[in-house]
Amino acid sequence: MRFSERNSSSPRSVLNHISFSYNPNMHLPEWTKLAGILLVLIGFALRLKPTLVVVAAALLTGLLAHLPLFTTHGSSEGIINMLGRAFAANRLMTLFIITLPAVALSERFGLQRQAAHLIQKFRAATPAALLILYQLFRVAMGALGLRLNGHPTFVRPLIYPMTKAAAESQTNDGLAASAASNLPSSAIEKLKSAAAAAENYGNFYGQNLSPVQPGILLVFTTLNTLGYNVSVWRLVLYALPIATLSITLGAAQFWLLNRRLMKENARLQ
């Protein structure tokens, strides 16, 4: 590894002339460039911060590919410069942060309690039914090309409290659980993960049913660049069976979860 720095009185000019790169005489096997994937797997398995894990994996992959850390005169684009350019090009992805204060204020003034109270009025509502309906809703929104940022704006303040209230009413034989939750902590965690799964399933597979979503456009552009003449609508057609299968498997998962919760409650009673 090489470190070079030119003498300069300006800190900015010093930063511009810093470069890290592997020695050109060091020949590593091509498969070592995949070490970033291994780092991501290890980081996620250890439950480290996802952002730090992904950035560290990007730095490692770039260094193993003999890319400089910073862009210098006459060199290729540096890894840090690539990350900065990518963030600036996709900065609109952070617009969901604007919704967080509104969601926090709504929760502060009882949004979750009102959502739970509303769903307890419907005795036919079950956790499985709510989660299946929400997954269908997210698939429909994805097919229409609408981005809803479901986790902060729907799952946490609405879907999870309503699912939890439906489970409490179901275990209480239709009586409202206005007091403390009668569900064990393990059941609550399962409901949280199921609500998040309904969002992920619907959003991930639903967006491939829209010809204007970035995911399907990325596949279209990549295939055309490689010389495959395909249309966007043909890609959507091929994505339709996958979306249908995800809905079927998701419904089965939520139905089985509902049965397990009822059996656990019957055993505790």
- Note the pLDDT of residue 12: 44
252-256 average pLDDT score: 95
pLDDT at 217 over 80: yes
Distance of CA 48 to the CA centre of its chain: 16
Average the pLDDT over each of 55-69, 146-160, 186-200, 241-255 and give the range with the smallest value. 146-160
pLDDT tens digits along 27-83: 677 888 889 899 999 998 998 988 899 899 989 998 888 888 888 777 778 888 888
Specify the pLDDT at position 39. Answer: 92
Pair 193, 252: CB distance under 8 Å: no
Per-residue pLDDT at 95: 66
Question: How many of the other CB atoms lie within 10 Å of CB of 73?
Answer: 6
Higher-confidence residue of 12 and 121: namely 121
Report which of residues 132 and 173 the model is more confident about: 132
Contact present, 5 and 18 (Cβ < 8 Å):
yes
* 245 close to 201: Cβ distance less than 8 angstroms: no
HEC letters along the chain: CEEECCCCCCHHHHHHCCEEECCCCCCCCHHHHHHHHHHHHHHHHCCCCHHHHHHHHHHHHHHHCCCCCCCCCCCCCCHHHHHHHHHHHCHHHHHHHHHHHHHHHHHHCCHHHHHHHHHCCCCCCCHHHHHHHHHHHHHHHHHCCCCCCHHHHHHHHHHHHHHHHHHHHHHCCCCCCCCCCCCCHHHHHHHHHHHHHHHHHHHHHHHHHCCCCHHHHHHHHHHHHCCCCCCHHHHHHHHHHHHHHHHHHHHHHHHHHHHHHHHHHHHHC
- Confidence (pTM): 0.63
Query: What is the rounded distance in angstroms from the CA atom of residue 173 to the CA atom of residue 192?
Result: 22
pLDDT (average), residues 179-208: 86
Say if CB 130 and CB 258 are below 8 A apart: no
